[in-house]
Amino acid sequence: MAPAYKRILLKVSGEALAGDNSFGIEPPFLQAIAKQIADVANTGVQIGVVVGGGNIFRGMAGAADGTDRVTADLMGMLGTMINALALSNAISRQGVKSKAFSAVTMPNVADTFTARAAKLALEDGFVVVLGGGIGNPFFTTDTASTLRAIELECDVVLKGTKVDGVYSADPMKNPDALRYDTVSYDEVIGKNLKVMDTAAFALARDNSMPIIVYALDDPGGLTGVLAGKTRSTLVSASN
């Protein structure tokens, strides 16, 4: 069976790489995510990955603690590059070509991101791992994932989280929270359903970019999500 999507953008949070720890990168979780990505890449799907940096440093938390917001966000961007290099290397160890790009110019670390270069890498069979957010403060890596998906002409954004979709409230705190199988951009924004930030959803809405939210630790993995076998929520123009 041919893959449902030719090119996808996967958002991986920094916290997912930390695993059971509150800080840093836990090798078993890093390898598990890399294997999920490699398994899908081996089916012929082109994959871009945007990584967060919350396991290293979270800009908004730093700003709340008194650090200048621009400085805090720059620190967060550097954290995402640590994760991007680690994940790209882990994917390569799975036998799949991978290349890291940075939105912030650091030529000794990674190629500077341009949509043209990243598209060429995707077409050449590389998984591209994108760090540095969008290269500007005040924007989250959720917004970066939507923007990069649009720039790279991806078919869908996949957001792996700790829960299996979009809920009306935090299911960890409210067991009566309603889970959605499908939900519209406008409903997510209007009800302030906190899975991704509002700017990310607004950008997706304005460019008709569908978003699938699923649990990153689901046994079916990324393959199961793309095959429609894993519980998830589709965010699109209409529900």
What's the pLDDT at 3? 66
> Which residue, 165, 50, 163, is CA-closest to 103?
50
What's the pLDDT at 200? 94
Q: What is the pTM of this model?
A: 0.93
Which segments in the chain show pLDDT lower than 50? 1
E strands present in 134-194:
156-161, 166-167, 179-180, 182-184
Collapsed DSSP state (helix, strand, coil) of residue 26: coil
What's the pLDDT at 1? 47
What's the pLDDT at 203? 96
* Residue 102, CA distances (Å) to 105, 170, 189 in order: 7, 32, 29
What's the pLDDT at 66? 80
